[in-house]
C-alpha cells in the first residue's frame, strides 16, 4: 500500500498547502504522549488544538468504537438512530435548560448553523415571545446583522471568516458576507452601542477567546450581553467550540465565568468526541413570536428541509462522543481540569521568567503571553514570531504546544493529564527559557 515516498515529499507533492505545518511527522499516541516516525517521544500539551480531551487511545473509547463499527457506522439522517438521540439528550442536560441539538462535523459548520438560525429568527420572527409583549407584526423590519468580537475566531467557511474578528483570515477572500459588526471584546459600552442598530439580530461571542490568545469574557460582560439581548429581543450565541465540554473545569465555559447567564444557542466541536469529527449546536426551547402570529420554540425554527449534512450525528461518532462524555464524568475530569489547570498556572507564574509577560488560565485552557520585547532581546530568524520560535524550541526538548498569534503559547493538555506531566512540561519550558540570552 505504501508509496515508499517520504512523508514530507508526499505532502509537498499531493496535499494542498493550506497549513503552515511544523516539521514533525507524528505516527502514534498513547495517553498524553505521542511518538514521531523515528520513535521520538513528545509530551502532548496541544491535544490536537483542544480536541483529544482524553489523550490518545483511551481504552474505553477504543472499545466502544470497535463495537459500534461492527454494529452500525452510518445510515444518513433519513432515519432515526439511537446514539444520536441519546447524545442530544446528554448535551441538553449539560446545558441544563430545555432545548434541542443539531449535529454536524466541525466547529465552523456548527457556527454556520448558528448564522442560519439567526437568519430564520430575523426573517421570520419578531423576537422572543412574551405574553404581555407585542404579538405578530408581519411588517416589522427584517433583522440580519450579527454583532461579533474583535480577536474572535469562528472558523474558515465564508460565514466563519466574515464572523471572525481577525483580518488575517479574510485576506484574499473578499468580499465578505455582509452583516457582521465587529466590536472590542469585553467592552459593554461598545456592545450596547452596536445593538442600537435595528438590523442586529444576534450577539456571537466565545466566552473565552481561544485562537485570540486565551482571553476570558468578564462575568459582567456576559451578564450585560444577556440583559441587552433580552431588551432588544436578540439571540445570545456562545461559541464554545474551544472552551466548552470540560476544558474550563465545568461542562460549559460560561459556567466557569458566570453560571447565572444562559445563552439562547451554543456551538461545540473539538473536544466533544475526543478526536473524531463532530460538531453540534444546542438551541433553547424558549418561545418565539413568529411574524405569522404563531408562537413556537426557538429550537424548532430550523425545521425539516432547512438545514442538514450527510455525516452529521452518525451512530459511530455519537456513540464515541457519549463514551467520551461518560469518561469525563466517571474519571472526575472536570475537577482534574480545575485542579491541574490551577497547578499549571501557579507553576508557570512561579518561574518568574523575564520572557513571560502574563499567564492567563481558565481550567486547562492556558495562555502564556511572551514578553512584548521578546524579539528585541532574543534574535529570531527573519519573519519568525516569538510564539512560533518557542513552539519549535519546545519541540526540540519533546513538548508539543500551540502558538496563538505572535506572542502567546497555548497549553491545552488532555483533561486527564496528571500532575507529573504538568511538572515535566513546566521543567521543559523552563529549560528552554533558561537557554535564551540572559539579560
Q: Does 104 bind ligand PLP (CB under 6 A)?
A: no
Residue number, 44 or 239, with CB nearest to ligand PLP? 239
Omega prior to 260 cis, within 30 of 0: no
Q: Decide: residue 181, CB within 10 A, 0-12 exposed, 13-18 middle, 19+ buried.
A: middle
Q: Does 412 bind ligand PLP (CB under 6 A)?
A: no
Residue number, 103 or 128, with CB nearest to ligand PLP? 103
Compute the CA torsion angle 385, 380, 365, 439 (nearest 10 deg): -140
Enter the C-alpha cell of residue 410: 497555548
DSSP secondary structure of 38-58? T--EEEESSHHHHT-BTBB--
* In the complex, least distance from residue 155 CB atom to ligand PLP, rounded to whole angstroms: 4
Give SS3 for 414: coil
**Angle, CA of 81, 84 and 88, to the nearest 5°:** 145
* In the complex, least distance from residue 421 CB atom to ligand PLP, rounded to whole angstroms: 23
Q: Does 153 bind ligand PLP (CB under 6 A)?
A: yes
Contacts of 169 (CB under 8 A, 6+ apart): 153, 156, 160, 161
- Restricting to residues 174-233, which ones interact with ligand PLP according to CB under 6 A? 206, 210-211
Interface with ligand PLP by CB under 6 A: which range of 58-66, 127-135, 239-247, 288-296? 239-247
* In the complex, least distance from residue 275 CB atom to ligand PLP, rounded to whole angstroms: 12
Binding-site member from 64, 154, 247, 395 for ligand PLP (CB under 6 A): 154
Residue number, 215 or 407, with CB nearest to ligand PLP? 215
Among candidate residues 246, 417, 252, the one with its CA nearest the CA of residue 344: 417
Site string for ligand PLP, 105-144 (x = CB under 6 A): -xxx--x---------------------------------
Q: Does 239 bind ligand PLP (CB under 6 A)?
A: yes
CA distance 266 to 157: 18
Binding site for ligand PLP (CB under 6 A): 49, 106-108, 111, 153-155, 206, 210-211, 239, 241-242, 269
Amino acid at each position: 500500500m505504501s508509496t515508499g515516498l517520504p512523508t514530507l515529499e508526499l505532502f509537498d507533492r499531493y496535499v494542498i498547502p493550506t497549513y503552515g505545518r511544523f516539521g514533525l511527522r507524528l505516527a502514534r499516541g498513547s495517553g498524553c504522549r505521542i511518538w514521531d516516525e523515528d520513535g521520538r517521544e513528545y509530551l502532548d500539551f496541544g491535544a490536537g488544538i483542544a480536541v483529544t480531551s482524553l489523550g490518545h487511545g483511551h481504552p474505553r473509547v477504543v472499545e466502544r468504537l470497535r463495537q459500534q463499527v461492527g454494529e452500525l457506522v452510518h445510515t444518513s439522517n433519513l432515519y432515526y438512530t439511537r446514539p444520536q438521540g441519546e447524545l442530544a439528550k446528554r448535551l441538553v442536560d449539560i446545558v441544563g435548560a430545555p432545548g434541542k441539538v443539531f449535529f454536524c462535523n466541525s466547529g465552523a459548520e456548527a457556527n454556520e448553523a448558528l448564522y442560519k438560525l439567526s437568519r430564520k429568527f430575523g426573517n421570520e420572527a419578531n423576537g422572543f415571545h412574551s405574553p404581555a409583549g407585542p404579538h405578530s407584526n408581519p411588517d416589522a423590519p427584517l433583522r440580519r446583522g450579527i454583532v461579533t468580537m474583535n480577536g474572535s475566531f469562528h472558523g474558515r467557511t465564508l460565514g466563519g471568516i466574515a464572523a471572525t474578528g481577525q483580518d488575517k483570515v479574510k485576506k484574499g477572500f473578499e468580499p465578505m458576507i455582509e452583516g457582521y459588526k465587529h466590536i472590542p471584546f469585553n467592552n459593554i459600552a461598545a456592545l450596547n452601542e452596536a445593538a442600537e442598530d435595528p438590523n442586529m439580530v444576534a450577539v456571537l461571542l466565545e466566552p473565552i477567546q481561544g485562537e485570540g490568545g486565551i482571553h476570558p469574557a468578564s462575568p459582567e460582560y456576559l451578564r450585560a450581553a444577556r440583559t441587552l439581548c433580552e431588551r432588544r429581543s436578540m439571540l445570545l450565541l456562545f461559541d464554545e467550540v474551544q472552551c466548552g465540554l470540560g476544558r474550563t473545569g465545568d461542562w460549559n465555559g460560561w459556567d466557569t465565568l458566570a453560571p447565572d447567564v444562559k445563552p439562547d444557542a451554543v456551538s461545540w466541536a473539538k473536544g466533544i468526541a475526543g478526536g473524531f469529527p463532530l460538531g453540534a449546536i444546542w438551541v433553547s426551547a424558549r418561545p418565539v413570536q413568529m411574524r405569522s402570529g404563531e408562537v413556537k420554540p426557538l429550537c424548532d425554527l430550523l425545521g425539516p428541509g432547512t438545514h442538514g449534512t450527510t455525516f452529521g450525528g452518525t451512530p459511530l461518532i455519537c456513540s464515541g462522543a457519549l463514551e467520551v462524555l461518560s469518561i469525563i464524568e466517571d474519571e472526575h475530569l472536570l475537577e482534574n481540569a480545575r485542579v491541574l489547570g490551577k497547578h499549571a498556572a501557579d507553576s508557570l507564574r512561579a518561574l518568574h521568567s523575564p520572557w513571560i509577560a502574563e499567564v492567563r488560565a481558565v481550567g486547562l485552557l492556558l495562555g502564556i503571553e511572551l514578553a512584548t520585547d521578546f524579539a528585541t532581546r532574543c534574535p529570531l530568524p527573519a519573519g519568525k514570531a516569538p510564539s512560533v520560535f518557542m513552539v519549535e524550541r519546545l519541540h526540540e526538548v519533546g513538548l508539543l504546544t500551540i502558538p496563538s498569534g505572535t506572542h502567546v503559547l497555548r497549553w491545552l493538555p488532555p483533561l486527564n493529564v496528571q500532575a507529573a506531566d504538568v511538572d515535566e512540561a513546566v521543567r521543559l519550558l523552563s529549560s528552554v527559557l533558561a537557554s535564551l540570552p540572559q539579560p
